[in-house]
Structure 1
Amino acid sequence: MVFTYFFSKNINKILYSSAPHAFFEMRFIVRTIFPTEAGNRAVKDPNFTKNIEDFMKNTKAEAAYFTEINGDRTGVFIVDIPSADMIPVIAEPFFLMGAKVEFHPAMVLDDLKKGLSVALK
């Protein structure tokens, strides 16, 4: 399956390389939204949950949640992304399965405090 191949062959090489961009990471909420037909096809694949587990392992996802949003199957992953070139590496396998993918920068409370201390000076 494309999902397994794409992640196993590419993500570790890019995420954990010694390239300069690998030292900066930013936390993102990655939301994958599977419309009904695409979701039905995806969950019928016997490797679907293994592929999700592999994705979480390879991206070192901090957390993952699965829910329904607006009637669509949705996965929400918290991941650190070292640079913008990782966005297609993460998104394309989901796009190929018919999902919509969103990336939202996210902060923990300490990040918010640090940012506000600078912004409010």
Structure 2
Amino acid sequence: MRFLLKVNIPVEAGNTAAKAGTLGATIQSILADLKPEAAYFTDNNGQRAGFIVFEMQDAAEIPAIAEPWFLAFNASIELHPVMIPADLANAGPAIEQAVNSYGR
């Protein structure tokens, strides 16, 4: 299943890593292990942030995904299942059933 991982790196932890010259290398190392479909970096709530799309097959994978960010940057994360347009199209019958059951 495809997930969106939102990572917020606190300013102080990010600055410490940047000054030590390890910010980029650490992020690249974490991403190399995660093997994301896509990764985008920006700001969020005044902090360095990443929005990363990846595949996860089992909830038991969550610690391996989250802990590197926690340990390296004291980051906060959010995990959200996401769909591509084809997934949404496949969900059409379930949406229609929900409308018929609850939307009237």
Asked if TM exceeds 0.5, the reply is yes
Residues matched between the structures, number: 96
Matched, 1:120 2:96: yes
Please give the TM-score of this superposition, normalised by the length of structure 2: 0.82
User: 13, 16, 34: which is aligned to 1:41?
Assistant: 16
Query: What runs of 5+ residues in structure 1 fail to find an aligned partner?
Result: 1-25
% identity of equivalent residues: 40
Deviation of 1:85 after TM superposition, in Å, equals 0.8
Query: What runs of 5+ residues in structure 2 fail to find an aligned partner?
Result: 98-104
Runs of at least 4 residues of structure 1 off by over 4 A?
Answer: none
The CA distance in 2 between the partners of 1:37 and 1:48, in whole Å, is: 12
Question: Which is further off, 98-107 or 39-48?
Answer: 39-48
SS in 2 for 1:88: helix
Please give the TM-score of this superposition, normalised by the length of structure 1: 0.71
SS in 1 for 2:83: coil
Quote the residue 1:70 is aligned against. Answer: 45
Could you give the per-residue CA deviations for residues 5-57 of structure 1, whole angstroms, max 9, x where no partner exists?
xxxxxxxxxxxxxxxxxxxxx11110110121122123234333222222222
Quote the residue 1:98 is aligned against. Answer: 74
Q: CA-atom RMSD, angstroms?
A: 1.5
Greater Rg over alpha carbons, structure: 2
Quote the residue 1:50 is aligned against. Answer: 25
